[in-house]
Structure 1
Amino acid sequence: MRDAFERDLIASLPKLRRFALSLCRRGDVADDLVQTTVERAVASRTSFDPATRLEPWLFRILRNAWIDQTRRTATRGTEIDVADAPDAATVDGPRVTEATLMLRKTEAALATLPDEQREVIVLVCVEEMSYAEAAEVLGIPKGTVMSRLARGRAALAEKLGIG
C-alpha cells in the first residue's frame, strides 16, 4: 500500500509536467525534468516536512533542475532535434477552432514575456498556487510575486489585444 507522500507525488505529475513544459517548451525535455524531479524528491524524501504541501516543494525541485539543466546546456552549445515536426491536429467545429487559436495565441504571447513574469503566471494562474506558495517555489518575497503577476497579466492582455 502506498503512503501519502507517494500518492501525492503521483497526483502531482500532470501539474509538474505542465510547469516543466512552460519552462522548456519541449515535451521530451519536460518529461526528463519531471523524471529528475521525482528522482530528487524520492531521494530527499526525509527532508520534506509533511506539515506543508508537497506541490510547492516539488515545483521548487523542478525549477532548480531546470536551472541546472540550462547551465549545463549553455556549455554544450546548440542542439537540434531533427525529429521535431509540427503535430497535425484535427479540429472539429468553430468553437473548438476558436479556442485552439486563442490558446496558441496566448501560449505564443506568454512565451514572449520575461521568464520572471511567465513563471509567476504559470504557477499562480495555471497551477493555481497561492502567492505564498509561488513565492516559496521561486525563492522570492510574496510582494514580488504579486507585482510580477500584475505586470505579467497586463503585458499578456496587451499582447492579446484584450487589455
Structure 2
Amino acid sequence: MDAPDNFKRLLLAAIPRLRRYARSLVFDGPRADDLVQSTLERALTRWQQFDERRDLLLWLLSIAHNAHQDGLRRDARLSMLEPERMEQELDRQAGAAQPPDIGLRLDLLAALRTLTPELREPLLLVVVEQLSYAEAAQVLRIPPGTVMSRISRARLLLRRVLGDGKPPSRSHLRRVV
C-alpha cells in the first residue's frame, strides 16, 4: 500500500531540515544527499510504522541518525584498502575541498570536524536544528542528561579549538523540556 498524500507532503516539507542535518553529519554534499535519499526511502517503505502522535521530523532525524550509524559500521568493516588506493583516496579528498555552507565559517566547519560524532550530533540537533534536549535524546536514543553533558563538552572543545576561550552566554543555554 502506498503512503498517503498527506504523509508525502509532510516528508517533502521536512527535506530542507533533513538535508541540513545530513550535511552536518558527513560534511560532504553528495554523501549527505545519499543519506537523505536513504532516509526518505526508509520512511516511505515504513510509513505505516510512523506514530502520528509523534513529530515527523524527529522520526526522520532518528532514521537519518540510524542510517548514518549503519554506514559508519559498514565503512569500518570495508575500510581495508590497498596502499595505492588509499593514497589515491586521500589525494582525491584533499583536492575536493567543499565550499562552506552559507552562514558557517570555514574555521567552524574545521572545528566541528574535530568533534567525535558522539559530541557533534547532539550539538547540531540542539543548536542547528533547534530541538529540545528531550527531543535530541529521543532521536539519538540516549538520556537527556547525556545529551546535555555531550553538548557541554562539545562547546568547551569548540571554544578551545576556535581559540576564544570565552564561556557561552546565557542566551545559548537551553532548558530541558
Distance 1:25 1:47, change over 3 A: same
Other-structure match for 1:156: 158
- Give 2:96's aligned amino acid: A
| Runs (4+) off by over 6 Å | none
Q: Larger deviation: 45-54 or 69-78? A: 69-78
The 3-state SS of whatever aligns with 2:97 is coil
> 137, 142, 145: which one pairs with 2:144?
142
Other-structure match for 1:67: 69
Distance 1:46 1:70, change over 3 A: same
> 44, 55, 58: which one pairs with 2:57?
55
Structure 2 distance, partners of 1:55, 1:62, is 10
> 17, 21, 24: which one pairs with 2:23?
21
Matched, 1:113 2:124: no
The 3-state SS of whatever aligns with 1:118 is helix
RMSD between aligned residues: 2.4
Structure 2 distance, partners of 1:56, 1:44, is 15
The 3-state SS of whatever aligns with 1:51 is coil
Structure 1 distance, partners of 2:142, 2:111, is 24
The 3-state SS of whatever aligns with 2:142 is coil
Other-structure match for 1:93: none
Displacement of 1:55 in angstroms is: 0.8
Q: Which has the bigger relative contact order, CA under 8 A and spacing at least 6?
A: 1
State, as a whole percentage, how many aligned pairs show the same letter: 45
Structure 2 distance, partners of 1:107, 1:45, is 34
Give me the TM-score of the superposition, normalised by structure 1. Answer: 0.82
> 97, 107, 113: which one pairs with 1:86?
97
- Give 1:85's aligned amino acid: A
Other-structure match for 2:174: none
Contact 2:28-2:98 at 8 Å conserved across structures: no
Structure 2 distance, partners of 1:88, 1:138, is 28
> Which digits, 9 at most, give the CA deviation of each residue in 1:106-135, with x for residues without a partner?
111111012111001110000111111100
Distance 1:87 1:114, change over 3 A: closer
